[in-house]
Structure 1
């Protein structure tokens, strides 16, 4: 049930129709409910308001028809602008960034306000009727005065939403804002991942699976394989459920696939050992603890966000774009995420006696994965190479631990060597050599405990 809820939440989060549908449904309910209030109150309350006069049938119909037509037209134009922005972002920044625009709450709410106003006006319009007679019965004219005032207020809200929308669309496709948003999400995801790992380590301080390790009859027992029930990307793994089931069976679950991996139906995603401790029902429950989807998400896949920055950088340095400033911007925000990793301390491996064994993303993993994908693009540009080496020097100042510093040293040396091979101008190669020398000097000063300002 929890996995189904997570899967539904992910689908709603990436859908563009959820908030417009909710606001439209509310407007429909209000459009048929407020006229009932008008029937109860009548028009006597308007006598106390000097500037209000009861509206007649023709005037009310004209106003509501005009408002509905105008708002629907603006909604169509706004939707077209959104599609243009999405197409532009997909072509220039990468197709994987479409999800950022689809999840944009401002666009969804603005479109929802337009559609809700249109539906409300149509609903109220259907309740207005002139005086008529059927046989000897006379049906009095009815104009819902309060409902019409609410329609006017909704129209004013639509005008405000249009102003917000016009301001928001260019802001959302501004590459500086887009990269900054991804970088901020990367920082937040790194911190959340570290806190979740710390909590799990605290909860697993006293492992509950020691019995099967020491039980002589279970030591040689084989492991049971749990296969994927779907084809797609692993989006979320319910570690709490896996832990509970493993402890209940006095066994251990080993994840051989992690969030972000693509699996095919029938492929092994985890094993449970010893096999004799896990019956068929338990194995099915373990399989249901994994959520699949058609794309990667940042929910448990922190590398997805760093990969997005890599994709933007690669496109920025492609021959058709050639935008080194955007590439340097991506490097700065990547450093923000890596620095957040560094501030969380060393990433501890899962204890071998834990109920669930899985691979954790470390600082070294994110650094090596990002730089290895970027290197061939960065090394071909003198400015970006020099900036990347300076970025690594800044990162080294924030990092503690010999293993992490060695990883940064390796990336700086490898990038400089690659640039020496790819750059044609001798002056550019000399600049890279100077940047590497500055990097080494900063590292030596840090080892000596000396803090000095960086060279612009």
Structure 2
């Protein structure tokens, strides 16, 4: 699946109503289907087995009414619990993490099961007729309502557990960490990208009168168009950037602005929020926000920040086997698309800058930051990346020396920093010897 298609699907996932609406529709169709099977005489062969509802019209109406009224009440309670969980998560972990709760399939399906059961019971209830109306009791459909009621009870128990565990900060960190790992695996390469030494040319600016966050961009389609049309396209924006109306977002040479504008418009997915489909820094920023909020004076939770740093260290060690995409897209050996690709320095800046600035006065956080950088240095073999890791270790040491007031903490930080440098230098010497 291409990243562009993934971005389109991700936009659908932001719609909290989609899965519940589909389950309500399924409940309506299931109710109509069960009644139709009853009319067709299908359940007659199994009624004697005692598995189907065998009561009369008044009992069926009372049962269906009870199921309908109770499930719609539980649905309202479920919605209230979800809103309370969202409010708590917004205050403690940041409003941008609400996206993860809204997109949670479990919450959506639980609400959909309650509403679908309600819709099913109503559809079946309207078909029950007394003797005066021409007696008809859909035994199969009433039995289906009982099964759905039991399913709703089980779903309610599971939902309470799911919400209680879902708002736990460790659970949230782990979920975002998995999102980041998945994004790294999807947006990085097994082998180094093709290198093209030529600098990006200058061309005619391309402007669009639209605005919003660039959620996805079909770079392959743009590169194919540029190759077929004999053009070179230079992108000024990348997924995650905000597109401003009337501001150049690309350059094309030779200039064919009308066609280039149409191609860019078709290749871009804009929205009011950022998305993770093609933005590697998105999950990084989410994790960093959890750490920064935990270090705020109102919360003062360094343990959460340390947990975030551990996840960043895990990702950096895993990235030693991965390669970031290059800034040039080639077609038949020719550079047809120049893009703003994320580099390793930028990724480290997104991970550590804000945490270092917010946690410089916390010995536990700043020392763990240097330790994590040292672990990443031990795993990394690329000299350019090791230089970037050392730069952040130096920044952490300077921040700690400036903000920490306890001499023992400063000395501990210096020891960790020295070990970090010794690890990096030994790696450099091993590479030179090879």
- TM norm structure 1: 0.87
Q: Does 1:158 align with 2:152?
A: yes
- The correspondence for 1:326, drawn from 282, 290, 304, is 304
Equivalent in 352, 355, 358 of residue 374 of structure 1? 355
Superposition deviation, residue 302 in structure 1:
0.7
1 CA distance for matches of 2:209 and 2:5? 17
Of 123-132 and 363-372, deviating more is 363-372
| Alpha-carbon shift at residue 100 of structure 1 (Å) | 0.4
Matched, 1:174 2:168: yes
Deviations 1:270-289 (A, max 9, x none): 111111xx362453123321
CA spacing shift, 1:378–1:7, aligned 2, 3 Å: closer
1:403 CA drift (Å): 1.0
| 3-state SS of paired residue (1:225) | strand
Runs (4+) of structure 1 exceeding 6 A deviation are 2-7
Cross-structure match for 1:314: 292
Aligned pairs for 1:71-110 (under 5 A) are: 71-110=71-110
SS in 1 for 2:378: helix
Corresponding residue for residue 236 of structure 1: 216
Q: In structure 2, how many angstroms separate the alpha carbons of the residues matched to 1:26 and 1:329?
A: 42
**Structure 1 residue matching 2:250: 3-state secondary structure:** strand
1:344 to 1:406, Cα distance in 2 relative to 1, 3 A: same
* Aligned pair partner of 1:336 in 314, 323, 341: 314
Q: Please list, as runs of the form range in 1=range in 2, the aligned pairs for 1:22-421 lying within 5 A after superposition.
A: 22-41=22-41, 44-50=44-50, 52=52, 54-132=54-132, 140-195=134-189, 223-275=203-255, 278=256, 280-345=258-323, 348-350=326-328, 353-421=334-402
Mapped to 1, the partners of 2:35 and 2:121 lie a distance apart of 12
Superposed displacement of residue 413, structure 1: 1.2
Post-superposition offset of 1:246? 0.3
- Whole-Å separation in 1 of the counterparts to 2:190 and 2:203: 28
Report the alpha carbon displacement of residue 187 of structure 1 after superposing the two structures with TM: 1.3
Offset at 1:341? 2.5
The CA deviation string for residues 50-95 of structure 1, in whole angstroms up to 9 with x for no partner, is 4656220000000001111111111111111111111000000001
Compared CA separation, residues 53 and 226, structure 1 to 2 (3 A): closer
Structure 1 gaps, min length 5? 133-138, 214-218, 451-456
Report which of the two structures shows the higher radius of gyration computed on alpha carbons.
1
Question: 1:254 Cα deviation (Å)?
Answer: 0.7
| Matching of residue 422 in structure 1 with residue 400 in structure 2 | no
Give the Cα separation in 2 of the matches to 1:350 and 1:390: 35
Deviations 1:242-270 (A, max 9, x none): 01210121111110111111121121111
Contact 1:226 1:272 (8 Å CA) reproduced = yes
Residue 401 of structure 1 and its aligned partner are, at CA, apart by 1.5
User: What is the count of residue pairs matched by the alignment?
Assistant: 426
In structure 2, relative to structure 1, the CA distance for the partners of 1:100 and 1:51 (3 Å cut) is: closer
Distance 1:50 1:367 in 2: 66
- Which whole-Å CA distance do the structure 1 matches of 2:208 and 2:191 have between them? 25
The two structures have a TM-score, normalised by structure 2, of 0.91
